[in-house]
Structure formats: C-alpha cells, structure tokens
Amino acid sequence: MMFRSTAMLFAAVLLFACQNNSASKPSVGATPAATKADIDKPQKTTSFDAQRAFAHVKAQVDFGPRAAGSAAIEKTRDYLVKELKSYGLTPTLDEFIEMTPRGKVKFKNVIAEIPGETAGTIIISSHYDTKEFKEFRFVGANDGGSSTGILLEIARVMAADKQKRKFTYQFVFFDGEEAFCAEWSQCLNGKDNTYGSRHYVEKLKKEKQTDRIKAMILLDMVGDKDLTIPREETSSPWLVSAIWGTAQELGHTKQFPSRPFSIGDDDHMPFLRAGIPAVDVIDFEYGNGPEDNRYWHTAEDTLDKISPQSLKIVGDVILLSLPKIEALIR
Ligand SMILES: [Zn+2]
C-alpha cells in the first residue's frame, strides 16, 4: 500500500486511550457479574487456519512481482478465483480499462458474495496487485500478499459456516491499488493509485448502490512478524472502536495498540468520500520496532518477514468483530 505517515501526539494518545474504553461493553450496573460475564464471554478464536492463510501468501510470492496488467497478476487472479470457487462461492470479475502512466491497462477486481437476509452489505477487502519496480524484484509478501491471504481464509471460514446472516458479505480483491509512478501522487494529478477501489465506488454510484454498503473493512500490510496496527485516524470511528475493542477483548493489545496513526490515503478513501463508513486495518511499521518501515516497498518485503500467527490474529479479530459491527448498523 499506500501513502504516509505517523501522528503520535501525546495528547492524542491519551485521548484515544480514553476513547478506547468506550469500545468495551457498557457497565452492567447491578447485574450479577458472573452471569453477565458468561453471557458476554468473547469467543477467543475462530476456525481461521493460520497455515492456510500463510500458504496463500506463499503462493502469491511464488507467482513473482504482480503489478496490474502483468502476466503474474493473471495467475494470481486465477488462483483467487479457483480458491473462492472451492469454498462454494461464485466469484465475479469487475473489469475495466483505464489510462495510466504505462498507457491503457486492463484492471480486474475480484468479488465474491455471501447473500444475507437483507441487501445491506459489509465489504471486507484487500488489494492483490503489487507495486511495480524496475530496479529490483518486488514480491510484496506483506504489501498485497498478506491481506489477500487473510481475505481468502476469511471467505473460506464464512462460507463454511452455514449460519444465516442478516447482512450480505462481499469479499473484494482490488486490482491496481499501487501507483505506477514512483510516488503515490506523482502522476495523473494524484489519480495514479487506487484504480480498483475508485472504479468500484464509481460503479456503485452509477448503479445507485452506495446506500446498500453499510461498512467497508480494508486490510493492508497485515502479516508482519512484528505486528503493530495502531488506530487509523482517517477511518470511521465506530468501525475502529468495534475492531480495536475486539482486539482488546481477545488480548491482542500489543498487535492492536490504541495509539493513533494516519495513513493519508488507501483503498478505503474512495468509500469514505462516497459517504460509506470504512476502516483501514494497516501495519505501516513494517521493520524493526515502532515507526520503522524499512521493508516497505523494498526487495526485503519477503516471505520470511511474515508470520502465520500474525495472519491468524488479524483474521480472528476481523471475524469476531463482525457481530459488533452488525449490531452498530442501523
Ligand atoms: Zn504498497
């Protein structure tokens, strides 16, 4: 992914630490503690399989650099489609051609849907392209690979449990998130990025479907062994509270710290601009420790930096936050 950068004002940290408490369950007053605790006891894990998710990341890395329009991204797309079909889903392709700094490129978003009792839809998403670099071989194990592996495994888990859901779920794999030019906003008046998500939102608008989308969850760079996903500040606060609150309940406060961070731009932004609630779950500290991003967009973004356990933590947190998110949708 994406754009930039950290905001870590001490006051803001304090503010978020306080707000964080509001994500927990309300005080139960006189309700007997044991009874209430039993009712509210969070499910600690899910059937999300860390090794399956990791195998998906490896498969993508094995296809090599997967820039939009490349032969390797075709193979990746075929892999996604085949996997989704094997879960009993019916993936569709949202194809479009757009002018880029490389000339016209054909992009294809991949979408799979689990219909719910209502048309109201929750999107869970990732980009599956990798940034094109001529100077070195960029395989995007974390940036593109990790979130796509997790999204496949989330789709498998949700398709396997036959529970009837109130909301429709869409798993959307965006093409063309990365800029072709070196810098994010260097070309095409800042439009040389997020091709897939911008197109998807325009399509929703044309089809007058934006009201149908109740929430959009974006995963990006979420497989780092040293997983650190601060609260993303451009995101819709209620979605942040639901997801980070769930992480807290599961004991994953180290991986989902309550300090703030702002990414600036990513695939969630076209949705936010269209009035659709959206959240970016992103670990932009892809290196050695806090605020170290040394592996991002380098030849070092390789499989050895990825941990199956990190993939599972993110998968579990997302899956277990869905009931909270559903409860908050009017
Ligand atoms: Zn990137």
Domain containing residue 160: CATH number: 3.40.630.10
Distance 299 CA to ligand 1 centre (A): 12
Contact (Cβ atoms closer than 8 angstroms) between residue 324 and residue 246: yes
Q: How far is the CA of 8 from the centre of ligand 1 (A)?
A: 22
163 Cβ partners below 8 Å, 6+ apart? none
* 221 Cα–ligand 1 center, Å: 8
CA 133 to ligand 1 center in whole angstroms: 11
**Contacts from 157-161 at CB under 8 Å and sequence distance 24+?**
157/46, 157/47, 157/48, 157/315, 157/319, 158/114, 158/319, 159/87, 159/88, 159/89, 159/114, 160/47, 160/87, 161/47
Quick one: tokens of 197? Answer: 């998500």
* CB distance 193 to 185 below 8 Å: yes
The predicted structure's pLDDT at residue 288: 86
The residue with tokens 């079909």 is 85
Contact (CB, 8 A) for 153 and 85 = no
**CA–centroid distance, residue 174 to ligand 1 (Å):** 13
Is 77 inside a domain boundary? Answer: yes
Please indicate whether residue 159 or residue 39 has the higher confidence score (pLDDT).
159
* Distant-in-sequence, close-in-space partners of 45: CB < 8 Å, separation ≥ 6: 316
Is pLDDT above 70 for 37?
A: no
Does 32 have pLDDT greater than 50? no
What secondary structure does DSSP assign to 90-138, as a single string?
A: --EEEEEEEEETTEEEEEEEEEEEE--SSS-EEEEEEE------SSS--
| Å from CA of 297 to ligand 1 middle | 6
Q: Looking at residues 149-166, what average pLDDT do you find?
A: 95
178 Cα to the center of ligand 1, angstroms: 6
Give 34 Cα–ligand 1 centroid separation in angstroms.
47
Does a structural domain hold residue 28?
no
User: Distance from the CA of 9 to the center of ligand 1, in angstroms?
Assistant: 25
- Which of 141 and 45 is assigned the larger pLDDT? 141
Ligand 1 geometric centre to CA of 164 (Å):
36
How far is C-alpha 245 from the geometric centre of its chain's CA atoms?
17
Q: Which of 218, 222, 219, 193 is nearest to 285 (CA)?
A: 222
Is a pLDDT exceeding 70 seen at residue 42?
no
Centre of ligand 1 to C-alpha 251, Å, is 29
Residue 128 lies in a domain: yes
- Tell me the pLDDT band of 95, cut-offs 50, 70 and 90: very high
Residue 5 banded pLDDT, cuts 50, 70, 90: very low
Mean pLDDT, range 153-165, rounded to an integer: 94
Residue 60, domain member (yes or no): yes
- Centre of ligand 1 from the C-alpha of residue 98, in Å: 20
Say if 22 falls within a structural domain. no
CA–CA gap between residue 221 and residue 223 (Å, rounded)? 6
pLDDT for the residue numbered 163: 84
The pLDDT score that the predictor gives to residue 13 is: 37
Cα-to-centroid distance, 143 and ligand 1 (Å): 5
Q: How far is the CA of 120 from the centre of ligand 1 (A)?
A: 30
- Look at residue 42 and tell me if it is in a domain: no
Give residue 100's pLDDT band: very low, low, confident or very high (50, 70, 90). very high
pLDDT tens digits, 56-69? 999 999 999 999 99
The count of structural domains within the chain is 1
In which domain, by residue range, is 184 found?
51-328
Q: Residues 165, 167, 170, CA angle at the centre, nearest 5°?
A: 105
Domain assignment of residue 36, yes or no? no
In a domain, 35, yes or no: no
DSSP state of 144: I
What pTM does this model have? Answer: 0.88
